[in-house]
C-alpha cells in the first residue's frame, strides 16, 4: 500500500468524523461558507474563489484549506479544528516539509450530502476530487509518491449520474464493481444488507474503506481483482458499475482505461453480468460504445444483452472521434505536454479509432434485469434531453411496465385500468390564432421528461385515466362523443395505449 494513505482505524476515524461535524464541514456547511459561485467553482476543480473565501481562521475554513484546497495549516490552527495528533498517527495528516510546525492532508476529503440528508464524506487522492488526473499534471500539491496510473478519483458527474439512476429497492446483496472512492458502495449500504466492493486497484479498496468509515456507514466486503473475477462464486440482487469505460489507445490510467480493446470491457461486463445476478436482480452500468462504420449502434448494443435479461439502453450523447480524443487528452493533462508529444498522443487515439472503423462514441446507461422472460424486452434508445434525477424509481417502473405489456394482449389491455402519471401536461401546438391545434403533445415534468405527440383521442383518453374505468369503457365513451364506431376505435387504439404505457405516461392499476 502506498505510504500516503491513512490507516483504517474505526475509533480514530470516528473522532475525526465528530470533528468534521462539529465544524460543519458538511455539504450544507460548505455551501454556506463559500457561497454558491465558489462552491460550484470547486466542483469544477477551480480553487481560487474558495481560497479567497477561506482567509479566516475558523475551524471550518481550516478544514476546507486542508482537505479540499490542499494547503498546509499551522499545527495550532489545525489542532483547533481536529484531533490533530490522532490524524497524524492515523496518516490523515503529515507534518509539512517546510518549518515542521505545519501539517497537510494526505487525501482529499469532500463533504457529500446523502439522499436522505446524511452527512457523508468521499475520500480520494489529492488533486483528483473532481475531473481527472489533469489536476495532478497541473501542478500544485500533487500526491507525491503516488503512481499516476493508480490514482483514485473522487466524485465526478458520472458517479452522481449512476448513483441517481440506481434502483434503491431494499435488497440482500449488492455489488459495486470498480468501486474507486467507494461512492456507489456507500449509497448501497443504505438499502443492501450485504455490500461487496471490488477494484483492480488496491488503493481504491483502501480508500473505499476510509470513505465508508468516515461516513459512519456499514462495512463492505472489499475484494481486489478484475471485472467479475473476485466474485466468481457469488450472485447479487443489484450490481452497479461506473467502469473504466474510456475507449483509448492504451491502459494508462486505471480509473478510466479498461485496458481491453475498443468497448470490449463494457461488452464483457454486460455479457457476464447475467451469471452474477439473482432472479429479478438489476445490473446498472455507465458505458461508452463505438459507433462502427456500417453498423447500427442499437443492434450492436442489443446483441450484447445476455439471454434471460430485459435491457434498457439509453444513449445520452454521441461525440465524434476528435472531440472524444480531446476530452480524454485533457482529462489526463496531456494538453499541457509539449506540442509534439500532444500531437503524437492525439494521433495514437485517431489511429486506434481508424483501426476499429469507429466513427463516433456513444455515452449512456445500460440497465439489465434478470427477468428470465422467453421474450425479453430490449429497448435501445437515444434520449439526449434533460432528465430529473434521481431516476431510480423511473428505471424500476420502466421494467414493471415492460412486464405488464408482455403479459397483456390487446384484449387484456382494453380490460385494464390506467392512471395518468404525475405532472403530465398537455401542450397544443399550432399557428397563432388557428382554431384547432396542428398537434397535441403530452409532456412529463418528472423522471425522463418525455414528450409524445398524440391525436385528440389519445389526449382525451389520457386525460380521463384516473384508474376508475377500464381502457375499453373509456374508448366506448369517446367513440360516442365523437361519433366514431366503438368497435373500430377499440381496434385501432391499443397500439397508442401501449406506447403511452411504455413511455411512462400511463401507469397500469394493479389488478
Ligand atoms: C471511473 S472509476 C469509478 C469509481 C466509482 N465507482 C465512481 O462511481 O465514481 C472506475 C474504477 O474501476 C476500477 N477498475 C479499472 N479496471 C478495472 C477492472 N478491470 N476491474 C475492476 N475494476 C477496475 C478503477 O480502478 C476505478 O476505481
Task: Give the residue whose CA is nearest to atom 19 of ligand 1.
Answer: 226
Which atom of ligand 1 approaches the CA of 245 most closely? Answer: 1
pLDDT score, position 97: 73
Q: Which residues pair with 364 in a beta bridge?
A: 287, 315
175 CA to centre of ligand 1 in angstroms: 13
Q: What is the mean pLDDT of residues 378-387?
A: 97
Edge-to-edge order in the sheet of strand 102-105: 73-74, 102-105, 93-95
357 CA to centre of ligand 1 in angstroms: 27
Could you tell me the domains of the chain? 1-105 (no CATH), 408-508 (3.90.930.60)
Q: What is the mean pLDDT of residues 12-24?
A: 97
331 CA to centre of ligand 1 in angstroms: 16
Question: 2, 156, 160, 178: which to mutate for ligand 1, most atoms within 8 A of CB?
Answer: 178
pLDDT score, position 160: 96
Which atom of ligand 1 approaches the CA of 265 most closely? Answer: 19
Pairing type for strands 171-177 and 236-241 reads parallel
Q: What is the mean pLDDT of residues 219-234?
A: 98
Q: What is the mean pLDDT of residues 302-310?
A: 97
Please count the other Cβ atoms lying within 10 Å of the Cβ belonging to residue 48: 11
Name all residues whose Cβ lies below 6 A of ligand 1.
153, 159, 162, 177-181, 183-184, 198-201, 204, 226-227, 242-244, 254-256, 258
Query: Each residue of 460-501: pLDDT tens digit?
Result: 999 999 999 999 999 999 999 999 999 999 999 999 999 999
Residue 16: pLDDT over 70: yes
3-state secondary structure 95-150: ECCCCCCEEEECEEEEEEECCCCCEEEEEEECCCCCCCCHHHHCCCCCCCCCCHHH
Question: 197, 200, 248: which to mutate for ligand 1, most atoms within 8 A of CB?
Answer: 200
pLDDT score, position 337: 85
Nearest alpha carbon to residue 329 among 244, 256, 241, 242: 256
Task: Give the residue whose CA is nearest to atom 17 of ligand 1.
Answer: 200
373 CA to centre of ligand 1 in angstroms: 31
436 — pLDDT class (breaks 50, 70, 90): confident
Residue 503: pLDDT over 70: yes
pLDDT score, position 332: 85
> How far does the chain reach from its first CA to its final CA, in angstroms?
57
Specify the higher pLDDT residue, 173 or 131: 173
129 — pLDDT class (breaks 50, 70, 90): low
Whole-prediction pTM: 0.94
Q: What is the mean pLDDT of residues 244-263?
A: 87
9 CA to centre of ligand 1 in angstroms: 24
pLDDT score, position 141: 36
The mean pLDDT value of the chain amounts to: 93
Residue 143: pLDDT over 80: no
Q: Phi and psi at residue 148, in whole multiples of 5°?
A: -55, -35
Task: Give the residue whose CA is nearest to atom 2 of ligand 1.
Answer: 255
407 CA to centre of ligand 1 in angstroms: 38
Specify the higher pLDDT residue, 379 or 45: 379
Residue 335: pLDDT over 90: no
For the chain, give the percent of residues with pLDDT over 70.
Answer: 95
Q: How many Å apart are CA 185 and CA 236, to the nearest integer? A: 13
Q: Which residues pair with 239 in a beta bridge?
A: 175, 283
Question: 254, 258, 264: which to mutate for ligand 1, most atoms within 8 A of CB?
Answer: 254
DSSP 373-422: -SS--EEEEE--S---S--HHHHHHHHHHHHHHHH--HHHHHHSEEEEPT
Q: What is the mean pLDDT of residues 453-459?
A: 94
| Three-state DSSP class for residue 266 | helix
pLDDT score, position 1: 46
pLDDT score, position 454: 95
Specify the higher pLDDT residue, 142 or 299: 299
Task: Give the residue whose CA is nearest to atom 13 of ligand 1.
Answer: 178
Query: Each residue of 49-82: pLDDT tens digit?
Result: 999 999 999 999 999 999 999 999 999 999 999 9
Task: Give the residue whose CA is nearest to atom 20 of ligand 1.
Answer: 226
Amino acid at each position: 500500500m502506498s505510504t500516503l494513505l491513512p490507516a483504517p482505524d474505526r475509533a480514530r476515524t470516528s473522532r475525526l468524523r465528530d470533528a468534521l461535524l462539529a465544524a460543519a464541514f458538511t455539504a450544507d456547511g460548505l455551501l454556506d461558507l463559500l457561497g454558491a459561485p465558489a462552491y460550484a467553482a470547486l466542483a469544477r476543480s477551480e480553487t481560487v474563489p474558495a481560497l479567497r473565501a477561506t482567509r479566516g481562521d475558523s475551524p471550518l475554513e481550516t478544514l476546507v484549506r486542508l482537505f479540499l484546497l490542499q494547503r498546509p495549516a499551522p499545527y495550532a490552527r489545525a489542532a483547533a479544528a481536529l484531533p490533530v495528533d490522532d490524524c497524524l498517527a492515523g496518516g490523515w495528516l503529515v507534518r509539512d516539509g517546510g518549518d515542521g510546525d505545519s501539517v497537510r492532508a494526505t487525501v482529499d476529503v469532500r463533504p457529500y450530502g446523502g439522499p436522505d440528508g446524511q452527512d457523508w464524506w468521499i475520500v480520494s487522492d489529492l488533486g483528483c476530487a473532481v475531473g481527472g488526473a489533469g489536476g495532478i499534471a497541473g501542478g500544485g500539491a500533487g500526491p507525491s509518491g503516488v503512481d499516476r496510473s493508480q490514482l483514485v478519483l473522487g466524485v465526478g458527474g458520472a458517479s452522481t449520474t449512476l448513483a441517481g439512476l440506481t434502483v434503491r429497492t431494499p435488497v440482500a446483496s449488492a455489488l459495486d464493481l470498480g468501486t474507486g472512492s467507494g461512492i456507489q458502495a456507500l449509497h448501497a449500504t443504505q438499502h443492501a444488507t450485504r455490500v461487496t466492493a471490488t477494484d483492480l486497484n488496491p488503493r481504491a479498496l483502501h480508500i473505499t474503506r476510509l470513505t465508508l468509515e468516515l461516513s459512519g456507514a456499514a462495512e463492505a466486503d472489499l475484494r481486489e481483482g478484475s471485472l467479475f473475477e473476485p466474485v466468481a462464486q457469488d450472485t447479487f440482487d443489484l450490481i452497479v458499475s461506473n467502469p473504466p469505460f474510456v475507449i483509448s489507445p492504451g491502459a494508462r490510467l486505471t480509473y478510466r482505461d479498461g485496458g481491453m480493446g475498443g468497448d470490449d470491457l463494457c461488452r464483457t461486463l454486460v455479457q457476464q453480468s447475467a451469471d452474477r445476478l439473482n432472479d429479478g436482480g438489476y445490473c446498472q452500468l455507465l458505458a461508452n460504445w463505438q459507433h462502427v462504420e456500417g453498423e447500427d449502434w442499437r443492434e450492436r448494443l442489443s446483441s450484447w444483452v445476455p439471454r434471460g435479461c430485459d435491457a434498457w439502453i439509453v444513449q445520452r450523447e454521441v461525440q465524434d472521434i476528435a472531440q472524444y480524443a480531446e476530452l480524454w487528452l485533457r482529462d489526463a493533462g496531456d494538453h499541457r505536454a509539449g506540442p509534439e508529444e500532444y500531437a503524437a498522443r492525439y494521433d495514437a487515439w485517431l489511429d486506434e479509432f481508424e483501426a476499429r472503423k469507429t466513427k463516433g462514441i456513444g455515452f449512456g446507461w445500460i440497465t439489465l434485469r434478470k427477468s428470465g422472460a422467453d421474450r425479453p424486452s430490449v429497448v435501445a434508445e437515444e434520449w439526449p434531453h434533460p432528465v430529473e434525477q434521481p431516476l431510480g424509481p423511473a428505471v424500476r417502473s420502466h421494467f414493471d411496465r415492460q412486464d405488464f405489456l408482455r403479459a397483456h394482449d390487446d384484449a387484456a389491455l382494453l380490460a385494464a385500468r390506467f392512471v395518468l402519471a404525475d405532472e403530465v401536461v398537455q401542450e397544443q401546438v399550432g399557428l397563432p390564432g388557428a382554431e384547432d391545434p396542428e398537434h397535441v403533445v403530452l409532456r412529463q415534468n418528472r423522471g425522463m421528461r418525455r414528450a409524445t405527440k398524440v391525436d385528440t383521442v389519445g389526449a382525451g383518453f389520457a386525460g380521463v385515466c384516473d384508474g376508475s374505468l377500464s381502457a375499453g369503457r373509456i374508448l366506448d365513451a369517446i367513440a360516442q362523443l365523437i361519433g366514431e364506431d366503438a368497435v373500430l376505435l377499440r381496434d385501432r387504439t391499443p397500439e397508442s395505449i401501449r406506447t403511452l404505457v411504455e413511455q411512462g405516461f400511463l401507469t397500469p392499476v394493479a389488478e
